[in-house]
Amino acid sequence: MKVHFLGTAAAEGFPNVFCRCQACQDSRKAKGRNIRTRSSVIIDDAWRVDYPPDAYYQAVRDEIDMSKVNHLLLTHTHYDHLCAGDLLSRIEGFAHGVEEPLNIYGNDLALHQCRIGFLEEGSIQKQFMMKRLIPFEVFWIGQAKITPILADHDPRETCFLFFIEKDGKYLLYGNDSGWFPEKTWDWLKGKKIDMAILDCTVGQNGNPKSRNHMSVETVIEVQKQFQAWNEENAKTQIIATHFSHNCGLLYQDLLEIFEPYGVEVAYDGLIKYI
């Protein structure tokens, strides 16, 4: 599986263009891996998780052919994860030569946002297929088996994380979430996980079970949990992402903090294979 990180920031982006805090000022100067757009990944160049407001820029920057991306998995509807109106650019007339419909998978709210954004117009409907996800109910994309599991995030909607099994490899897409809910831990327990992408929005807060979003300490606690299960999961590759400027940490700071634990720090454009 190829996992391409298109964006690795929390909601405001890093830097937040409106913000004068030290981290934002430093990231503007340092550039490179300190410029983070809103979080999203693309898997095997064919399907992506979330459609942030930066999706257009990400595709141009990393030379992604979005006409070939036929599956969109949505974690939840926060504005950094779903910019539904932007998907109108994919319809015939606005775009040319897009053959397949876009399959959109998400919770009720996410699909509703898409519907009011563009699906009421009859001729457009066949260009988008929508599937409502139920927690822990498996769905398939070709040979890939995907389970939407519950996040600890916004209690006003059913926020999902994704457990993806493809070509004998296992990927946990774990943002946005705080310390996982009990149901999710029960479901995950003992499963082989080759790679886990984890939320690290808040940086260091001293809380190994941070709620709503994870912290450095929570990411390390999740790693300990995996290690406690079995030897195989002691080798799980953990990648931290979804960083907020409010954490006050630049790329180099994060590298130094996570280095002793073997946790990788995501940056925009990072490509990993499992």
Binding mask 17-56 for Zn ion (x = CB under 5 A): --x-x--x--------------------------------
217 binds Zn ion (CB under 5 A): no
Minimum distance, C-beta of residue 169 to Zn ion, in the bound complex (Å) = 25
| Residues in 68-97 at the binding interface with Zn ion, rule: CB under 5 A | 78, 80
In 3D space, the residue among 106, 91, 89, 98 whose CA is nearest the CA of residue 48 turns out to be: 106
Q: Give the binding range for Zn ion (CB under 5 A) out of 91-99, 108-116, 172-180, 224-232.
A: 172-180
* CA atoms of 140 and 243, how far apart (whole Å): 30
| Strand positions, DSSP E, the chain | 2-7, 40-43, 47-49, 71-73, 102-106, 128-132, 139-141, 144-150, 160-166, 169-174, 195-199, 237-241, 264-265, 271-273
| Closest to Zn ion by CB, 27 or 127 | 27
Q: How many CB atoms lie within 10 A of CB 249?
A: 24
| Closest to Zn ion by CB, 270 or 274 | 270
Minimum distance, C-beta of residue 143 to Zn ion, in the bound complex (Å) = 29
Minimum distance, C-beta of residue 77 to Zn ion, in the bound complex (Å) = 8
Q: Which residues sit at the interface with Zn ion, rule CB under 5 A?
A: 16, 19, 21, 24, 78, 80, 176, 245
